[in-house]
Amino acid sequence: MAERATLREVGPRDGIQMAKRFLETERKLEWALRLKAAGVKEIELTSFVPPKVVPQFADADQLAQGLPRLEGVVASALIPNLKGAERALAAGFTHVNYVLSISEAHSQSNVRRSTDEAIAEFERIAALKDTEQGRGMVLGVGLATAFGCTLQGYVAPERVWQVARHVAAGGADELIVADTVGYANPAQVKMLLPPIIEIAAGRRVICHFHDTRGLGLANVAAALETGIRVFDSSLAGLGGCPFAPGATGNINTEDTAYMLESMGFSTGIDIEALLNLRRDVENWLGDERYSGAIARAGLPKTFEAAE
């Protein structure tokens, strides 16, 4: 039997946070339902950032009403702060993802807080677990700009590990190591991740790579060697970061699924179904940047899904 690998689809969140067009709530839900039908097991569905910051997610509460139809899928929401966590829990999410930037410059630019202030907010969020409201909450913590920052430049691995230790001790259930701006390379991946996996001590470690400088899939292959088996990716490579100039998208879900399956890792994903979905998402969203080699070249004649 093939070893399993998991793709967390972030298209409906990371993928469209900067999209020009507001995507209707029913479309967002259809997107998620069709991801589920295509075998995707985890979806970051929306964000509880204030609508005045990202209007695209003004319908987060309404969208959450579709959660029962997504049974069998781990549907999570991004939360920017304690208030967002409370909103997400009230709306029915159990899985939430909180992101803090290791780079001080990125943290200030992204959320107008220092990294330490963002860590303090994490502690307030983690404290929700001890309340009636937060019982059973699964808290993922994203370590953004872990491989470098377009604003600050170098980000010290020691600082990444220090923050990872702090949040792991403080109630993070999952660690998401993010190359927010596409600076990572395979050698760096193999250097940075093993200590994080050790720090995580059995908690899931998820990699979130961007393909900004073309190394996204090379970094996935490197992370696989360190033992990572969960990756964030986005249908059609949609997405980026509004505060990371030149950040041109998450790694592409179809291409990543193709690579993983080719390498013998079973993702459970039907790539052809993703390609069909992608065509509809392109129609819904209109003028955005869509990437992807499999959408252009097709699967190899020799392709067989891992089983």
Residue type, 61: D
Which of 145, 252, 253, 267 lies at the binding interface for its own copies (CB under 8 A)?
252
Site size toward its own copies, by CB under 8 A: 42
Q: Is residue 149 flagged as an active site residue?
A: no
CB atoms within 10 A of CB 16: 27
Which of 87/278 has CB closer to its own copies? 278
Which of 12/182 has CB closer to its own copies? 182
Which of 283/302 has CB closer to its own copies? 302
Candidates 49-57, 74-82, 83-91, 242-250: pick the segment binding its own copies (CB under 8 A).
242-250
Nearest CA-CA partner of 40 in 256, 231, 269 = 269
Which of 56/291 has CB closer to its own copies? 291
**What's the angle, vertex CA 34, arms to CA 33 and CA 36, rounded to 5?**
65
DSSP 207: E
The residues in 94-153 that bind its own copies, with binding defined as CB under 8 A, are 148-150, 153
Smallest distance from the beta carbon of 121 to its own copies, in angstroms? 27
284 vs 279: CA distance, rounded Å: 9
**Residue 109 in contact with residue 151, Cβ under 8 Å?**
yes
Which of 165/213 has CB closer to its own copies? 213
Cα–Cα distances (Å) from 92 to 25, 41, 149, 301, 307, in that order, read 16, 18, 34, 43, 34
CB atoms within 10 A of CB 24: 11
Which of 52/301 has CB closer to its own copies? 301
Which of 68, 202, 214, 286 lies at the binding interface for its own copies (CB under 8 A)?
214
Q: Where are the alpha helices (DSSP H) in the chain?
A: 25-37, 60-64, 82-91, 104-111, 115-126, 157-169, 186-200, 216-226, 253-262, 271-285, 293-297
Which of 221, 227, 272, 279 lies at the binding interface for its own copies (CB under 8 A)?
221
Give the length of the chain. Answer: 307
Residue type, 141: V
Smallest distance from the beta carbon of 138 to its own copies, in angstroms? 31
Which of 222, 235, 238, 241 lies at the binding interface for its own copies (CB under 8 A)?
222
> Six-digit token pair at 242?
């509004």
149 vs 151: CA distance, rounded Å: 5
Which of 25, 94, 248, 266 lies at the binding interface for its own copies (CB under 8 A)?
248
> Six-digit token pair at 150?
């377009």
Q: Does residue 55 bind its own copies (CB under 8 A)?
A: no
Which of 18, 213, 226, 266 lies at the binding interface for its own copies (CB under 8 A)?
213
CB atoms within 10 A of CB 275: 18
Q: Does residue 301 bind its own copies (CB under 8 A)?
A: yes
Q: 93 by DSSP, 3-state: which?
A: coil
> Which is the catalytic residue, given 60, 100, 217, 241?
241
Binding flags for its own copies, 176-205, as an x/- string (CB under 8 A) = -----xxx-xxxx-----------------
In the complex, the residues that contact its own copies under the rule CB under 8 A are 148-150, 153-154, 181-183, 185-188, 211-215, 217-218, 220-222, 246-248, 252, 255, 258-259, 262-264, 292-294, 296-302
Active site residues per annotation: 241
